[in-house]
Amino acid sequence: MDDFDFIEQCGWLKPFILGLVNYYKINEINIGNEINIGNENSESDKIDKNVMFKDTSITFQEANQYAVYNLDRIFKNDCFTKFCYTNYSWLECVEKGNNLTDIKCRVSSGFDNKNVPFTKRFNPIFSEKTHREEYLMAIYSYNYLYYRHEIETMLKTPSSDYTRFNRTTEKNILNRFFMTNLRMTQNRSKYPRSIEHVLTTYQSTIEIN
C-alpha cells in the first residue's frame, strides 16, 4: 500500500471532509435539540446534554456512511434485475483489487465511467449545472471510499513517518511539512485519530490550495 499524498489529493479531500464535518455538526445540533423537547430538567442539564454530543470525534465508519449517502443522492435504485438481492455495495464496488467487481458491479457512463452497484442507475438530472455541487461531492465521496484505507493508515501510524516521503523532492517536502503539522494537531487532541484533523491541517496558518 502506497503512502497517501495529502498534498496531491487536497482538491477533493478537503471539500469532502469539510462537507463531512458540516453534515455531522448539523445532526449533532438536531439530536441535542430533540433531547430537550419536553425535558423538565434545568437549563444547565440541557447544555450538558448538548455538549455530550458535540464533544465527539467523527469515526471512519461515519465517514463511509456520509460518502455512501452522497453517492445514493445522485443514483436511482433499479431492482428489476436478478442481482437486486445479491448486489454489491458501494464499498465493495470501489474496493481496490476486488476481482469480482466485473461480475457484481458495472461501469456507469453517466458517472465518469466508475464502477457502481448493478442496482444503481445514475440520475441524469445531476448532469445539469444546477446540481453541479451534488455531483462533485459524489465524486469526492467515491474518491474517499477508494482511498479510505490509506487515509486511515496514515492517521493511525505516526511511528512510520520516518520512512515516508524520504526522497528529497518539492512535493515530498510539502508532504513532510503537512504530516508534521498533522501530528502536532493530533498530539493536542482528545481524539488523535480523528479524520477532522486533516481538515484542521489543511486550514492551518499556511493554507494549502
The alpha carbon dihedral of 31, 17, 141, 147 has a sign of negative
List the pLDDT tens digit at each of the 209 positions of the chain.
Answer: 578 999 999 999 999 999 999 998 866 555 444 433 334 443 334 333 333 334 578 999 999 999 999 999 999 987 655 555 556 789 999 988 878 787 788 899 999 999 999 889 999 999 999 999 999 999 999 999 999 999 999 999 998 988 888 787 888 889 899 999 999 999 998 889 899 999 999 988 455 45
The residues facing 120 across adjacent strands are: 77
3-state SS class at 207: coil
Instruction: Record the pTM.
Output: 0.81
Closest Cα to residue 1, out of 131, 150, 116? Answer: 150
Between CA 191 and CA 58 the distance in angstroms is 9
pLDDT per residue over 134-191, tens digit each?
A: 999 999 999 999 999 999 999 999 989 888 887 878 888 898 999 999 999 999 988 8
Q: What is the mean pLDDT of the chain?
A: 82
